[in-house]
Structure 1
Amino acid sequence: MKIDLIFEGGGVLGLSFIGAYKSLFNQGFDIERCGGTSAGSIIASLIMAGYLPDELETIIMNTDFNKFTKKTKTGKLPLLGRWISLFTNNGLYDSRYLEEWLNDLLKVKGIESFGDVYRNGNTKLKIIASDVTKRKMLVLPDDLVDYGINPKTFSIAKAVRMSCNIPLYFTPVKLEYEKGSSLIVDGGLLSSYPIWLFDEDSKWPTIGLKIRDVMSNSYNGKDGFYSYIKDLIDTTTNRDETNFIKNEDLVRTIIIDYNEKIDTKDFTLSNTQIKELYTNGFNCTENYLNHETFLKDLKINWSKIVREQLSRKN
């Protein structure tokens, strides 16, 4: 069965999406297009590059995620370095390592720019980012034309880095174009779960993968400046959108559970924790797919989307 697949953001919790991908793969789903935000955009890009579930499992089990939190030059200064970096670089950590790491993985499959994943004039990969300069959501690569940039020549790894740039945590990416420049940050700031990405051109059902929402520090009675900053950042990477998801979107959404002892920004994960996230993603997806009404509801939902699509054209 052909499907489009959408991934929510979620920081390191997004590793569970690889287990979910394994379940979908085992059950014979043919993934035609992928979209995602933040951590979800990483998995989406690797799938569209041609990576199989077992290959991705090997990659995450052999990746030192601690390297993703590389300090800026000012951040390395003693005592007040982190605060100086925050005020001078608009972030605590430099996200360039993520771009380099992903670019190397994509090159292995012969993929670098969005043009490499175009089919019949359309991209098979869409990524959400946020332009804080223009105060608008970006659907990459489509919206690059508004900046006078050719979507087909734009680096996928750079687009993913833009989508993953958690505000205040990572330094924003500066997107330069003929008429100026914009600061680009995490897509989760404006749309953490873009389940709608392919609905305007729906050729088959869409399945969305979403991390179960976590309660904030303040909700759990933890006050103070640090807890406030942490909640502010977590709102970008793993905010509660469930109440705002339409019923017809819930029937095509697989919600993945996780161990709340694992924080969305814990880049010091052990292999045991990585395996736990992977296994949770696999098991939760299996439970949904094995439910007797899931596929039936999915097809009914898609039929409704197609009818709405045709009515708009008429």
Structure 2
Amino acid sequence: MARRKFGIALGGGFLRGAAHIGVLKVLAREGFKPDMVAGTSAGSIIASLYCSGWSPERLEKIALKLKPGCFYDLCSTIINLGGMAMAALLDFFKLPFYIKVPLGLTSGKRLKAWLEGELERKTFYDLGTALAITSVDVNTGQRIVFVSGDTEYEHLRNSHDIVFIRGVNISDAVVASCAVPGFFTPKKIGIRLLVDGGLRANIPVEVVSLIGAERVIAIDVGYDGEPYKKINNIFQLLSQSLDIIASKRINNELGDYADLVIRPLLKNVAPWDFDLIPYCIEQGEKAALECIPQIRKLLES
């Protein structure tokens, strides 16, 4: 009996996204290869590399080498933070401020350069596995979905809520999907100013269904509702706030589109805890192993 097409939706969650690698490792060992993958924010990084042909083992190898410098420039971040603080102070006192204030603490240039080096400037037309990456147009609120250019997607139609775009560089799409407001400056693609796709749907289960998945497996690496460790600065506050906002939108959409949800147990992993990447991968493996009977039943029925 022919297996139904299945897709996986990789959610956002900062460094917790490394848990996706653990899930993919288990799926590969069990012989389950998704027909399509959708990713948001951190999930878009893993999804893009995986769909370009990277094995889970190769993903793990590169993840264990990641450092903060792969994603942002500390010097420019400090300068931008100072500019923002000065602008806020002068605005408070109603004084003129003639220097352009950045829209985020850091640009996505470091992330884009790193991705282009790993992806070799591939576009969505160059992929072996169907890929969708989500972002949000900050001016219209629409979900912008970058998809592979295959003819089988001709049934996709833009709506007032979702716009599908084909053919862009994958690195640009990923930078847009990862542009967390406040952290990264929005990514401009064409006429659109794009930010983190998690603002609308942190786990892109609807999207992976729209591009053809008959069975949808969601990997949720977001906020689990447990008390967060002590918040000491504005970055931790922003991170926790975004996690909470995203978590409130997740359950309804998962119920509508996901056939199975894998939730790795990830405790107190902050966006800068690069030393916890091995822990996240391990937790992803554990969660996936526990779900293998359900996955087998779902995909082989």
The Cα shift of 1:200 comes to 3.6
5+ unaligned residues in a row in structure 1: which ranges? 301-314
5+ unaligned residues in a row in structure 2: which ranges? 89-99, 149-155
Confirm or deny that 1:192 pairs with 2:192.
no
* 1:24-39 map, 5 Å: 24-39=27-42
Tell me, in whole angstroms, the C-alpha distance in 1 between the residues paired with 2:140 and 2:75: 25
* 1:200-239 map, 5 Å: 200=210, 202=212, 204-211=214-221, 213-215=223-225, 229-235=238-244, 238-239=246-247
Deviations 1:219-260 (A, max 9, x none): 999799777544433346x52445324546454111111122
In structure 2, relative to structure 1, the CA distance for the partners of 1:197 and 1:221 (3 Å cut) is: same
Q: Number of paired residues?
A: 277
In structure 2, relative to structure 1, the CA distance for the partners of 1:203 and 1:56 (3 Å cut) is: closer
Structure 1 contact 19–281 (Cα < 8 Å) conserved? yes
The letter for the 1-side match of 2:196 is D
2:119 equivalent in structure 1:
106
Structure 1 contact 9–37 (Cα < 8 Å) conserved? yes
1:132 equivalent in structure 2:
138
Tell me, in whole angstroms, the C-alpha distance in 1 between the residues paired with 2:87 and 2:111: 19
2:296 equivalent in structure 1:
295
2:179 equivalent in structure 1:
165
- Identify which of 253, 277, 293 aligns with 2:261: 253
- Identify which of 3, 11, 16 aligns with 1:13: 16
Q: Secondary structure at the match of 1:134?
A: coil
Confirm or deny that 1:269 pairs with 2:284.
no
TM-score, length basis structure 2: 0.79
Give the root-mean-square deviation of aligned CA atoms.
3.4
Structure 1 contact 162–184 (Cα < 8 Å) conserved? yes
Tell me, in whole angstroms, the C-alpha distance in 2 between the residues paired with 1:67 and 1:57: 16
Tell me, in whole angstroms, the C-alpha distance in 1 between the residues paired with 2:113 and 2:235: 31
Deviations 1:60-95 (A, max 9, x none): 11222343132474x444983453589811111121
1:41 equivalent in structure 2:
44
Tell me, in whole angstroms, the C-alpha distance in 2 between the residues paired with 1:221 and 1:79: 22
TM-score, length basis structure 1: 0.76
Tell me, in whole angstroms, the C-alpha distance in 1 between the residues paired with 2:297 and 2:184: 42
The letter for the 2-side match of 1:83 is A
Structure 1 contact 173–185 (Cα < 8 Å) conserved? yes
1:89 equivalent in structure 2:
102
Structure 1 contact 144–150 (Cα < 8 Å) conserved? no
